[in-house]
Amino acid sequence: MKNYSAFDIEDFVQDPGFRSWALGNELADKDRPLLDWMNQNPEKTTKIRQAKELVLATQIQKLPQGEPDITEGINQVFSRTTRKENPGWGQRYMVWKIAAMITLVMGIGWWLRPSGKSSVARNEIVNNPANASQPRLITLGDGSKISLEKDSKIEVSDDFNQVNRTVYLKGKAFFEIKRNEKKPFLVITENLVTQVLGTSFWIEAKGADPAISVSVRTGKVTVFTKPKQGNLLVSEQKTELIPNQMAVFNKADQQIVRTLVKDPVIINPSVDGKNQFSFQEMPVSGVFEVLEKAYGIPINFDKEKIKNCNLVASLGGESLNEKLDLICEIIHATYTENEGRIMIVSNGCR
């Protein structure tokens, strides 16, 4: 068994088992005594934290090649891990030891990084400038993908993919999240937290805008106000969204409103084959059920009142609102939207 009590910071950083633990990977059986040792030695927490942060730092930073730049780069990393300014000679000596160690780790350990130019590691900030000509595509370590719009920024938490998967957004982005029921994915903005297990959705959270919006493409999303006390389990407001629904948080009145997206899209194109919107004397209740399944949006109506209403129509490329306008005109009904649902009001057909 390794003598972890004799380890210094650089010894932990060079240890394969410790690096695996710091990066959130499952430990091999031979390295499991490390966990027991850390639990039994709480007085070593500061040293362990510093070593862990240094492991994470080496995974996200390419050190410059010039000798003066290397010195500056290492000093920056070391200052973040020690939380101290102006290190003394002893600390400066350790900086150079760690610099040599980092060079070795980076030479043999870059396989730990996600591959690809667009990959993002933990504790990294990615910007897409205001003058960008197109969105910036990002792949996270868990395989999730983000399309970052111009004038937007994403920051990945330093413990990403450990207990949960957390990113911080300023601006607008489209998310395609790999499903993981054991590790929820959190997007934290100025006022809201968006939690998913695996789905696709838009978030627009620009600082100058009066509202923040979350729009769902697929799956289910939970949106709640960011608790002031920092406890993500406690929130004053919370709402769940399904495809074609969106949550709008008004910064002025601090309220979340659930509504439909501006242009709902078909999420189930195979409801009834290629002629899914061709109706021949179909009861209108069945027509609404087809629309509900095609768009994934709840449609509420009184079955008893429309039981004598039938529809003959061939619909196709119209928007959902246009379809509803035509149907309601034929059966002399009206519709409204309420909390992301469509409400049909009808006096019936003779």
pLDDT (tens digit per residue) in 34-72:
887 887 776 777 788 778 777 765 553 333 334 444 344
pTM: 0.61
Non-local (6+) Cβ contacts of 292 within 8 A are 298, 299
Which uninterrupted H or E stretch holds 171?
strand 165-176
C-alpha 38/C-alpha 17 separation (Å) is: 13
- Contacts made by residues 46-49, CB under 8 angstroms, sequence distance 24+: 47/8, 47/9, 47/12, 48/12
User: Taking Cα atoms as reference points, which of 199, 227, 215, 292 lies closest to residue 259?
Assistant: 215
Q: Do 278-346 and 119-260 fall under one CATH topology?
A: no
Torsion region of 165: left, alpha or beta (phi above 0 gives left; psi -120 to 50 gives alpha): beta
For the domain with range 278-346, which CATH number is right: 3.30.1490.20, 3.90.700.10, 3.30.750.24, 3.55.50.30?
A: 3.55.50.30
Cα angle vertex 131, ends 125, 132, to 5°? 65
| Domain residue extents for the chain | 4-112, 119-260, 278-346
Q: Tell me: domain 119-260, CATH 2.60.120.1440, correct?
A: yes
Look at 19-33, 213-227, 312-326 and tell me which has the smallest mean pLDDT. Answer: 19-33
C-alpha 218/C-alpha 250 separation (Å) is: 24
User: Taking Cα atoms as reference points, which of 78, 121, 126 lies closest to residue 102?
Assistant: 78
**Residue 196 has which token pair?**
């998913």
pLDDT at residue 160 in the model? 87
With cut-offs at 50, 70 and 90, classify the pLDDT of residue 203. very high
